[in-house]
A = this chain, B = another copy of it.
Amino acid sequence: MHHDRLRELLSAVHLGERNPAEVFAEFESLLLGFGTVATRDAVVDTDRARRCGFPEVVYCEGKQPASLAEIFETLHRNGQRAFGTRVSNEQAELLLERFPEAIHNPIGRTVRLDTERLPLSGYVPVVTAGTSDRPVAEEASETLAWMGVASALVQDVGVAGPHRLPQRLSSLENADAVVVVAGMEGALPSIVGGYVDCPVIAVPTSVGYGASFGGVAALLGMLNSCAANVTVVNIDAGFKGGYVAGLIGRRVHGSD
């Protein structure tokens, strides 16, 4: 990817403008990805925002609180806006102690630590089929907030009362993408997909019992959606649903 810079550097060495040791260091950085910092237990990618638009997100499940705090500190020290998902209460407590300015969402189980507030850009509503889907929806909403994308939470839109959908879905107009969170049969994304002209990111949840098989029924329903604009992420993956939708929102409005 860096062909031009490579040629430039070689030429500079050739002309004696740069010395080999210096250039070697830049080569390593360019080609081998030096933008990483090792903590005790993890390797933090501090170059990701430049490369992928947003910093690395921390999946907190099962991490030692102290080790997690070290990762947040590393990101923060390197000017990265830190965001953690699947944060336990114990983890959150320690993070908030260290960073009182961090924002903890206990329902969505997220913590975000902004270095600066991004100007809002783009619009992505998050829709749920039932109130039990809310934790996953909150994870998506927090992700959008961290990305600087405007959002709205539209809750408890069941498919069994389809006559009331037009009223409930009026807030979907002008969306850049819609995140639809649903468990059980997972039919809501298809319905929403037929109303809107933007991508629908479907997030199946493990809500349900018996033959819902922990979200498998919803996942399969969404993958087989007859609406062409529906795409799917993992079961309970509110973060990923929000992230992809947020990328679209930022991109459409030219902000990333």
Q: Which residues of A contact B (CB under 8 A)?
A: 1, 6-7, 10-11, 13-14, 16, 19-20, 23-24, 27-28, 31-34, 36, 41-43, 45, 48, 51-54, 57, 59, 61-63, 67, 86, 129-132, 134, 155-170, 173, 176, 184-187, 190-191, 193-199, 201, 204, 206-237, 239-240, 243-244, 247-248, 251-252, 256
The residue from B52, B157, B199 contacting A229, defined by CB atoms under 8 A apart: B52
9 A-B residue pairs with CB within 8 Å: A7-B20, A7-B24, A59-B130, A160-B227, A185-B224, A186-B224, A224-B234, A230-B240, A252-B252
Those 7 A-B pairs whose CB atoms lie nearest each other, nearest first? A210-B235, A187-B187, A33-B164, A217-B220, A53-B197, A160-B194, A10-B20
Do residues A243 and B217 form an inter-chain contact, with CB atoms below 8 A?
no
Task: Find chain B residues with CB under 8 A from A161 CB.
Answer: 33, 36, 45, 48, 194
Report the minimal beta-carbon distance from A163 to chain B, rounded to whole angstroms: 4
Given A156-B41, A197-B51, are A10 and B13 neighbors across the interface (CB < 8 Å)?
Answer: yes
State A226–B206 Cα separation when bound (angstroms).
Answer: 14
Task: Find chain B residues with CB under 8 A from A157 CB.
Answer: 43
State A63–B155 Cα separation when bound (angstroms).
Answer: 14
Task: Find chain B residues with CB under 8 A from A237 CB.
Answer: 209-210
